[in-house]
Structure 1
Amino acid sequence: MTKMRFLALAVFAASYPVTALAFDDQPTAELQALDDALPGSLINDPTRLDWQIFGTGQTSKPVKGEDIPGGKAALQITVPKAGATLFEVGANAPITTSIKAGTDIVVAFYARTVSADTSDGKGRIGVRVQQNIAPYSGFGDTTLVIDKDWKLYEVSAKATSSISRGQAVVGFQLAGAKQVLEIGQTIVVAGATSLTAKSTKAVQSATTDLLPQLQGKGRLINNPSNKDWPVYGPGATHMTIASPNIPGTGGTALRVTTSAPAAQPYDVGAAIPILEEVKEDDILLIGVLARTAPGGSGDGTSKLGIRVQLNEAPYSGFGDNVLTLGPNWKLLQLKTQASTTIAAGKGAVALHFGAAAQAIEVGQVYVLNTSGPIAVTNE
């Protein structure tokens, strides 16, 4: 697998995540930092270049260099002749989530022309977002002229159809000329119309409603300031503690202490009410500010289970995951796709504390629906 170092964050920050889908793996610190800085939600892994390359006669190889912007790595693709259609030779960069019709999508990527048999010596790349199985439906078809020097290119479009998770790709169509092209770091975002437009984020205090990392990423469908959560389970104690200097806690946090592992992690838990309806296939972004409480475990780590569920029998749900917490406050962001519809006022984010003898502190919990209209503030 071709893996690049992640260096694009400064560029974007300065210039301005089928059937039930479980929470994506916790992103690396670098990817989380990028997602925090971008408008909308990151829906690909920009550090990967192990893309599907296809087409008769084409050859490809990874290249590295200090002069390559973004991750100092790229794919060099040689197209031996112009095709009858642009898509006879191509590269497909995977998208990690489903796409819902009506969603704004932005594709930004670095590229340059090494050589091209064209009148101006510049290469041609067609870009579209598409389903990677027949009938290969897609949207956003744009043909770009690629300069000889490295440059950031951006294509934006509104999804005209829905694409299931595991089937969506960014298709780079390369048969527009006999040419040698290099394509570098590629970033795909849902819920935004540009990555390079300037934006001003609000400074977060301990009591404001929404952390800057979450602004513009979706519609808030719970009340983060309400911490009157039902806490349940044998062998556990809980209390509200002051945390006035920690942004995102609302000035207080919930501490839950378990003296021994429960028979099941979910035997000790708390339920955070979801106020609005969640429809099947909606993509939710969950933000949880939490840490291992001081002295809460021998090594400073703890395990917090999480899922979205119906808050009454039979407690059906989706998105089960276990978060590893450290001794410092951290905002963990996770995406999940609803496998069923949950009526307004009937859903909850369930937190499970019973995995071990441990003490965990939880500040605000945010539930955002990224599939509907997004209220943008301080943008």
Structure 2
Amino acid sequence: MHKFALWAVAAVVSVSAPVLADQPTAELQALDDALPGTLINDPTRLDWQIFGADQTSKPVKGENIPGGKAATQITIAKAGATLFEAGANAPITAGIKSGTDVVVAFYARTVSAETSDGRGRIGVRFNQNVPPYSGFGDTTILIEKDWKLYQVAAKANISIPRGQAAVGFQLSGAKQVIEIGQTIVASGTTSLTTKSGKTEQSATTDILPQLQGKGKLISNPADKDWAVYGPGATHQTVPSPNIPGTGGTALLVRTAAAAANAFEIGAIVPITDSIAEGDVILIGILARTAPGGSPDGTSKLGIRVQANDPPYPGFGENVLTLGPTWRLLQVKTQAKTAIDAGKGVLALYFGAAAQAIEVGQVFVINTSKLTPSSNQ
């Protein structure tokens, strides 16, 4: 069975959580960063609009409920003349433009169903939750007795303004008791599951979905044995559970005070391949300000691609502003000098201030050297 590669980063589902704000929580931001496409709902919510005269509903919780350990149980007293007479609407937090790929994945199970095969029926539809209730992607799914992950993808043939979009779960296809659990909706992608069926992001070797197909990886994300240098700083490996792309650990660097130059405190990430002058290099860094790392939660991380021998010729100097939430920051730069294989590094500079920074994973990608899979 396919499962979400990224499911564990979502928070435990609440039936009364607030609406997703413009500034998401750390858990939701981590999920958004890790998902293919863009997250357009709040998976921690189950306080959906339940509708229909012949239904009752209640929240249920349990350790055996996958995703968020909570679900909504909906009882349909009798089959309707149409599938959509009773059901639930899970709100979408963004607008949808015509032509956009949209996908929903959700956990569900049938408690009981008066059907020939004992399986429940759920109609899934992306719809405008105001008159005339236009929608797309209508799909009917047979729901098994055991918890299982279901997925529906569709291309929008209408535009729906922000605040009016929802995923409709239509339940009047049978007299039944259905439980629907954690639900994730994303745009700009046709699938939220991995082809390999792995249950979590590979600890050290996988490129995050938003970097896949962008070129040839020329660093080794599996290698975190970076050289750390500089006075007035400490560093250690710390756990980073449930944050895809960190490999379960992060490098924590604390600086007691700003250095005269930010580059005086740093870490060296090896680059494995050669770089030709004119190559376009994409740098992806998963990082955050460590808890308690600064009064306002921000920090500054400098970066530079360079040769690791004097006089250290290089390019791509940049300063990244980090916040308290894990983010994948991406920077493109063009090589101003050639660097031989095994001689290049990505330098990380921590000395801009008294601060604490966690770096989870670093990806250096040569976009001028597409791999066969990059063209797919």
Please name the residue that 2:22 is paired with: 24
Q: Are the aligned partners of 2:100 and 2:187 in contact in 1 as well (CA < 8 Å)?
A: yes
Please name the residue that 2:116 is paired with: 119
Look up the SS of the partner of 2:152 in the other structure: strand
Please name the residue that 1:162 is paired with: 159
Residue type of the partner of 1:96? Answer: T
Q: Are the aligned partners of 2:294 and 2:355 in contact in 1 as well (CA < 8 Å)?
A: no
1:12 alignment partner, one of 4, 17, 39: 4
Give, in angstroms, the shift of residue 288 of structure 1.
Answer: 9.2
Give, in angstroms, the shift of residue 161 of structure 1.
Answer: 1.1
Look up the SS of the partner of 2:36 in the other structure: coil
Please name the residue that 2:173 is paired with: 176
Q: Percent identity?
A: 62
For the pair shown, the structure with the greater C-alpha radius of gyration is 2
1:11-43 deviations in whole A, cap 9, x for unaligned?
41179xxxxxx98213323x2333333211111
Aligned pairs for 1:242-253 (under 5 A) are: 243-245=266-268
Q: Are the aligned partners of 1:112 and 1:148 in contact in 2 as well (CA < 8 Å)?
A: yes
Q: Are the aligned partners of 2:30 and 2:326 in contact in 1 as well (CA < 8 Å)?
A: no
Matched residues in 2 for 1:88 and 1:332: separation?
43
Gaps of 5+ in 1: 1-9, 16-21, 206-210, 219-237, 248-286, 306-322, 334-356, 364-375
1:214 alignment partner, one of 205, 210, 214: 210
Q: TM-score, normalised by structure 1?
A: 0.54
Residue type of the partner of 2:323? Answer: L
Q: TM-score, normalised by structure 2?
A: 0.55
Give, in angstroms, the shift of residue 120 of structure 1.
Answer: 1.4
Give, in angstroms, the shift of residue 358 of structure 1.
Answer: 8.8
Change (3 A) 1:213 1:123: closer
Residue type of the partner of 1:212? Answer: L
Matched residues in 2 for 1:164 and 1:142: separation?
22
1:183-218 deviations in whole A, cap 9, x for unaligned?
11111111111122327999999xxxxx83632699
Matched residues in 2 for 1:114 and 1:108: separation?
19
Size of the aligned set, in residue pairs, is 252
Matched, 1:331 2:327: yes
Q: Are the aligned partners of 1:76 and 1:180 in contact in 2 as well (CA < 8 Å)?
A: yes
Look up the SS of the partner of 2:327 in the other structure: strand
Matched residues in 1 for 2:152 and 2:110: separation?
18
Matched, 1:302 2:296: yes
Matched residues in 1 for 2:204 and 2:64: separation?
36
Matched residues in 1 for 2:213 and 2:96: separation?
15
Matched, 1:86 2:83: yes
1:207-235 deviations in whole A, cap 9, x for unaligned?
xxxx83632699xxxxxxxxxxxxxxxxx
Look up the SS of the partner of 2:169 in the other structure: strand
Give, in angstroms, the shift of residue 116 of structure 1.
Answer: 1.1
Residue type of the partner of 2:99? Answer: G
Matched, 1:133 2:125: no
1:214-271 deviations in whole A, cap 9, x for unaligned?
32699xxxxxxxxxxxxxxxxxxx9764755479xxxxxxxxxxxxxxxxxxxxxxxx
Matched residues in 1 for 2:111 and 2:266: separation?
56
Gaps of 5+ in 2: 8-19, 215-259, 271-283, 300-320, 330-352, 360-372
Cα RMSD between the aligned structures? 4.5
Please name the residue that 1:338 is paired with: none
